[in-house]
Amino acid sequence: MKIMELKAGMKRVEITAKLIEKSEPRDVMTRFGEQSRVANATLEDESGTMKLSLWNETIDQVNVNDTVKIENGYVTAFRGETQLNVGRYGKISVVG
């Protein structure tokens, strides 16, 4: 699957792309009242770019210029932007 094919509401997304940007993590309170860390990242493939949300331990698993594979991800619209999420049941790993 390519980035340009991803649309808000899609589930069970599997994609491989390059991580080209990653923000510094920030602390947030989740809707469940838990303290978590979140960082914004940008993925790129030959079809385009997309925002990626990284939570807690996944922030430290990946770095800029890594090629990553996301399995069982899902796509949402947040503040008018389409973004990819790994979520609780998804997996992100560095490949290559």
Q: Which tokens go with 94? A: 């560095």
- pLDDT value of position 17: 98
- pLDDT value of position 92: 96
- pLDDT value of position 63: 97
Q: What is the pLDDT along the chain (96 residues), one digit of tens a residue?
A: 999 999 999 999 999 999 999 999 999 998 888 899 999 999 999 999 999 999 999 999 999 999 999 999 999 998 889 999 998 899 999 997
How far apart CA 42 and CA 60 sit, in angstroms, is 15
Query: Which of 38, 42, 54 has its CA nearest to residue 17?
Result: 42
- pLDDT value of position 30: 80
Q: Which tokens go with 85? A: 């999420």
Q: What residue spans define the domains of the chain?
A: 3-95
- pLDDT value of position 40: 96
Residues 17/24, Cβ–Cβ less than 8 Å: no
CATH says 3-95 is which class?
mainly beta
How far apart CA 51 and CA 88 sit, in angstroms, is 18
Q: What is the CA radius of gyration of the chain?
A: 13
- pLDDT value of position 96: 73
pTM above 0.85, yes or no: yes
Report DSSP letters for 29-45, one per residue. E-TTS-EEEEEEEEEEE
